[in-house]
A and B are shown apart, each in its own frame.
Chain A
């Protein structure tokens, strides 16, 4: 199962540093994500792109992980040769990581139809 089934993500840039948040839809899946989306895996996944360190911050109250990756934007947003110089598309790639999940848990969020629909499906 893809990480995308459990979590959503947003990518931000500052200079030559990218941060990618991974936020679980349901806090009940937080431990699974924390266990499997490790610094080592993220570093390996982005090895073509990220030349520096990867640091992971855990923000329990939001069910979130924040990956901060240095030397990740080809020298910096303002001077990168990359098509996506901000790295905005990197979060989507992280959500394509494969996880091993036996049981998926979702709660109903009254205002987000797709999350609710998906809660029904699972």
Chain B
């Protein structure tokens, strides 16, 4: 095959389905990927799986597959997705049942497993946390899930065995794209230049519309046409690994050098050393050239040998966060909001709620940047007309978080004049820390269903 066309069908767990279906129907793509796992999504899925062993995959899996399966069969598009979350095997069973009920035959569905290392966590208790340098066993809270970012191995194996749909749990996001490229072109796993280029293609596709005008528009500076109808990207990749990005003509959005440059550096630290399980990709010499309307050619990425260490996300419970908000308007709103903050603060001391961390923000004044930047931006103005106090605090116990919420609510009757729009929200914190695990300690396996 001279080129492979891969479309992006989702950039986050709850993304829109229409742009994906459009690409599958009109984009002449060979593959479509759905990237649906944020850092802690898998922990939330794991909690579901503990309650019900048939759950633990992306909540929109069935909804999406109902729409995808007929198109995937009709247009011969293979699907690769991490929607399996903490239970890829259960996800393949759901898809099998769905295919049966839709009367679709001749589909091979693969589950890639092995990323889940929850059961072997005790053997890593002396491993250092990447974030803090402390040992894993220093986390005193309950560990909910542990998943290694695995690479292309399982995806390639599934495709070699004829899978039409590949469902993974945690894999590195670019591997969703690099997997089919290695399979189709037969790239050597030591061909670091091609692996680096394919990783860049994956990196640019995995966030959906973020390369086609999403997360970009700034009216008057960076205008994006018809953003409401933004189209998702398609990469046409050559055997050399270089590729051209495009989107469907009748969609909204924008694909130009600027949108691509922003996304190349998105969530990247050292652009010469982008670590994945497959390669250390190097984006530092990338050439980005617009070659047509909404068509951008990307060349010049390369790579080096992988580290052999897999980043592994450990999700753990970390107390509770309460957020309480109340608004004050018109003249004097900022002084009234500040008085309200002072009242809550004194009340929390007075009733003696144990608090790990707290913070007071004034939405409309300093809630995004705190004081230094906010003062510069507003020229130290204090005459705000619409200020919302936000009290946020972290506690070990849920009851304590609730007590803080009551104090914010109490501002309605016991606080300054004209406080309205009170909202209080308490949530359990599922935090994520990371360790490194040698890749040879991970056993990737592929399990199949067929209809």
Contact = CB atoms under 8 A, between A and B. Distances in A.
B392 A81 contact: yes
Interface string B264-301: 11111111100000000001111110100110000010
Contacts of B215: 10
A78 B40 contact: yes
B285 A61 contact: yes
B377 interface: yes
The secondary structure that dominates the A interface is mixed
B258 A16 contact: no
Contacts, number: 148
A32 interface: no
Interface size class of B (residues with CB under 8 A): 35 or more
B222 A112 contact: yes
Given A23-B261, A48-B373, A61-B286, A10 B429 contact: no
A12 B294 CA distance: 24
Interface in B210-252: 215-216, 218, 220-223
Interface centre among A4, A66, A90, A110, by most chain B C-beta atoms within 10 angstroms, is A66
B39 A21 contact: no
Contacts of A78: 39-40, 315, 318, 429-432
B359 interface: yes
Given A10-B266, A21-B262, A78-B39, A57 B368 contact: no
Contact of B269 (A19, A45, A61, A90): A19
B254 A111 contact: yes
B221 A59 contact: no
B293 A62 contact: no
A65 B390 CA distance: 34
Interface of B: 39-40, 130-131, 215-216, 218, 220-223, 254, 256-258, 261-272, 283-288, 290, 293-294, 300, 315, 318, 321, 357-359, 361, 363, 367-373, 376-377, 390, 392-394, 429-432, 434
